[in-house]
Amino acid sequence: MKIAFFAPIGAVSGGIRIILEIANGLSAKGHEVYLVSDEKGVETMIPIKGPKTVFEEDLADIGQLDLAIATLWNSVWSVQRCNTKKRGYMVQHDERISWEPKIVEPTYRIKWDFCITIAPWLKRMMEGFGQENVYLLSPATDKEVFKPYGNKLPDRIIYFSRGLIRKNPSLGFAALEHIKNVRPDIEIVTFDSSPLPAAFEFVDQHIQNPSQEELGKLYSSATVYMQSAPIEGYGLLAIEALSCGTAVVTPDVAGPEVFAFDEKGPIIRFAELTKEDISKQCLRLIDNPEERRDLEERGLKAASQITWPDEVEKLERFIGGQSGL
């Protein structure tokens, strides 16, 4: 099949990483895959191993596509006007949270040939907009990168400090400052693609733009990985932390529901959306090593059961049915 993903591949985000993993996987299975972007030849978080990066105007030279897939609301109109047999929409978040709803919502109401979602709540959302052919993908992690490295340190909390409103950084930093005031001995490490503002003096270390291997080792070194977002599309960073054998504390959000439970119950420590309870749950895991190790072992098992080869193969069967090939 000739497949094009319309995506800003130069951006740094979990969503872009998921798109690249899928594109690489489909390319490895013999499909002709294109990444249609504003930037060609940019450095990405993971290598582009097979797909070709092209500008939209290059598509005329490629000929008719079998599948064109929008991955953000602002790529929808490019997909609508391109030469393709079928059109799909990959939805990784409710973009009305970050963008003007009256601009985004019409893209959800277009009659798509198919949609791809990454969490049950997103599948339900798109079905609520009248979409009839909605596929549920479960993103995985790179098991060669996100794994236990045997470098775990005591009393270390790590936090993704990206300043997106939907990540609720004000709550996250308030919780970290509260923890530091109560327990100055706890090491607080943040990471992001941008520098840390000087105001957050209670942060012991900030790692800017870590490589994938550096990120895996950082997760592995932590006692707790903390999140503060009131809503997650899927929770990719949470499953990355679990893959590295690290316990996770997060507000009680829908995104991680695919991997957050096993037969014994939750494998993630859920918290109320307050700095006090997020802090309380982090300290609880730091001070109760037996409970923490139980969550680490169960989380590692749950994360290992979701793999990219399996997910790409299932997606290939789905989109093959959409194209008729």
What is the per-residue pLDDT across 74-83, written as a single tens digit (0 to 9) for each? 999 999 999 9
Low pLDDT (below 50) residues in the chain: none
- Predicted pLDDT at 43: 57
Q: CB neighbours of 61 closer than 8 A, spacing ≥ 6?
A: none
CA atoms within 13 A on the CB side of 156: 17
pLDDT at 259: 87
For residue 159, the model assigns a pLDDT of: 96
pLDDT score, position 14? 79
Cβ burial 117-154 (10 Å sphere, 16+ → b, else e): bbbebbbebbeebebeebbbbbbbbbeebbbbeeebee
Q: What is the pLDDT of residue 39?
A: 64
Give the Cα separation of 287 and 272 in Å (integer).
Answer: 19
**129 in Cβ contact with 106 (< 8 Å):** no
Query: Which tens digits make up the pLDDT trace of 147-175?
Result: 999 999 999 999 998 766 667 888 999 99
The domains found in the chain, sorted by start residue, are: 2-139+308-323 (3.40.50.2000), 156-304 (3.40.50.2000)
Pairwise CA distance, residues 265 & 203, whole Å? 33
